[in-house]
Structure 1
């Protein structure tokens, strides 16, 4: 339907603007039609419509989603060369891509330079890096980044808490998971099913008998006390 409306514009003699092009480019990227997305980007420029940051973000997201990390980084570099200021979505994309390739030092460096380009890191950007670290079982580094995130005034959401809890429980480190649960309770962030499942897995890994019952009891102790 998006294609139909887009081509109807051109048939009626109307020139699509950058937002119309971006809408269809994003559809192609979400569906994995990267060749079509690039063809449309070329058409866009032939029509005298300049790509903007949102165009690059859509293309980068599509590439990263399909494992073309190097190509996404090249797009990021091109965006900067053209004088655009990357926004938080750009940074989140490229940090996520670096993390998928376990290039955590590079991802962390990019995260640190966000403020220099006038973009404040947010919880979603941090989650992209934390998730990669936890999946790689580098929870100590994830903890340090989490602390730095707290120090600059960011407030974790449930997704970020779950990412860390899952990481710690995956290593059987339920004590750190309990500390995060207490922090959640203090800030009014309630657990969900993912939180519970991670905790049960962590207790199982630690060799606790009746992990489901133990997890329910611990959650009750922490969250009923607030």
Structure 2
């Protein structure tokens, strides 16, 4: 059947719609390149009613409708009319019915955001009432519109869409609102996020723990930890129960800022709501306590983890050993190191480095060397940082020849290490402390 006959049937509709549309899509799938004059003339016979008929008839596959629609959008000069908002909404509803949400959002973006094709919200909302009669699809359309406005950071249009849905009894998808909250927090619009959460609650929509946690995270990141806790307490009274992620968000913020007063309140609320500490909670607490010098409290928490059967990784012990080393409590650091072995927690290179550094600072270079040799025997690589710390420790105790001996030993162990700094320091010490013998080890130093 020729294209001319197909186009003529649009007015008479003497042929079946399925056959008519099939011939159209076959033509559009392989259009003449370039389009000949006959095809251009025939396409000009298409009218808005015929287009809406093709796009809305359920006998036509949605994918074919979209193909046909996109073809016309790209070749609007070939038809005698401008594709209007109703045509866009017709294909949009078809896409939403078949769960083709990405394609639907692209069309929504085209009519509501794109500068050359922008329709005000109230115009789109009025047209939806005419073009989309099924409540379920209409709800999907407005929720998709809310998401499109949110993606484009058009906050005012989001609120306009939300209020229209609320006023007209259109079902609000809480998950879509959660996505909007995520967008607001990502854009540092924390107060807008808090306001939208309240708006969501006042609409009668059940506020999920996910939406609550998104706003709590935003408040914590902006330093409003107390406000985040108060929000959680408020939402608990209204039926939204926080989960472990909500609490860990606040615990992490308190620990990083050493806000231990607020931390106690968060932990008390956590206990009140029956939410148990998990591995992440302990990690945040131990990290915060050790960095603040509260190492004994951190060590107590590690013991608590063992008692509860929670897996304690090497990193947590490294934090404690490093914390004791910074405080100069080398006995406690060694004790923690021994406890690791008793509890079958395997030390790594960072564990040894934390302990060796603390021993060197405390002047316990003999013990430090013991752990260096143990570290080496276990196959851990010795780096220049550890070696320099040992050299510094020996130098500070005026153990110059021991430092020289260590240098020669370490040059054999770490062949690629840059020992120029060690040589300079040892040579300087030899000359300043024992000038009469300064020339004697020179060849060995420069070997």
Please give the TM-score of this superposition, normalised by the length of structure 2. 0.41
| Contact residue 108 and residue 129 of structure 1 kept, 8 A | no
Q: Residue 283 of structure 2 corresponds to which residue in structure 1?
A: 127
| Contact residue 123 and residue 157 of structure 1 kept, 8 A | no
Cα RMSD (Å): 3.8
Q: Residue 150 of structure 1 corresponds to which residue in structure 2?
A: 306
Q: Residue 204 of structure 1 corresponds to which residue in structure 2?
A: 360
Deviations 1:17-65 (A, max 9, x none): 3334334533543564424534654665577643311222222222222
**CA 1:112–1:209 in structure 2 vs 1: closer, same or farther (change >3 Å)?**
same
| Contact residue 76 and residue 94 of structure 1 kept, 8 A | no
Correspondent of 1:8 among 102, 105, 108 = 105
Correspondent of 1:68 among 202, 224, 243 = 224
CA distance in 2, matches of 1:223, 1:86: 46
Correspondent of 1:26 among 165, 182, 200 = 182
What SS does structure 1 have at the residue aligned with 2:281? helix
CA distance in 2, matches of 1:181, 1:24: 48
Correspondent of 2:318 among 143, 156, 162 = 162
| Contact residue 181 and residue 222 of structure 1 kept, 8 A | no
CA distance in 1, matches of 2:368, 2:183: 42
Correspondent of 1:54 among 203, 206, 210 = 210
Q: Residue 273 of structure 2 corresponds to which residue in structure 1?
A: 117
Q: Residue 351 of structure 2 corresponds to which residue in structure 1?
A: 195
Indicate the structure (1 or 2) with the bigger Cα radius of gyration. 2
The alpha-carbon deviation at position 213 of structure 1 amounts to: 5.5
Q: Which of the pair has the greater relative contact order for Cα pairs under 8 Å at 6+ separation?
A: 1
**CA 1:47–1:134 in structure 2 vs 1: closer, same or farther (change >3 Å)?**
same
Structure 1: gaps spanning 5 or more residues: none
**CA 1:171–1:57 in structure 2 vs 1: closer, same or farther (change >3 Å)?**
same
| Aligned pairs, number | 219
Q: Residue 82 of structure 1 corresponds to which residue in structure 2?
A: 238
CA distance in 2, matches of 1:27, 1:182: 48
The alpha-carbon deviation at position 122 of structure 1 amounts to: 1.1
Deviations 1:136-176 (A, max 9, x none): 21222222333233223322123423332332222122333
| Contact residue 92 and residue 124 of structure 1 kept, 8 A | yes
Q: Residue 97 of structure 1 corresponds to which residue in structure 2?
A: 253
The alpha-carbon deviation at position 125 of structure 1 amounts to: 0.7
Correspondent of 2:331 among 146, 156, 175 = 175
**CA 1:111–1:45 in structure 2 vs 1: closer, same or farther (change >3 Å)?**
closer
**CA 1:37–1:20 in structure 2 vs 1: closer, same or farther (change >3 Å)?**
same
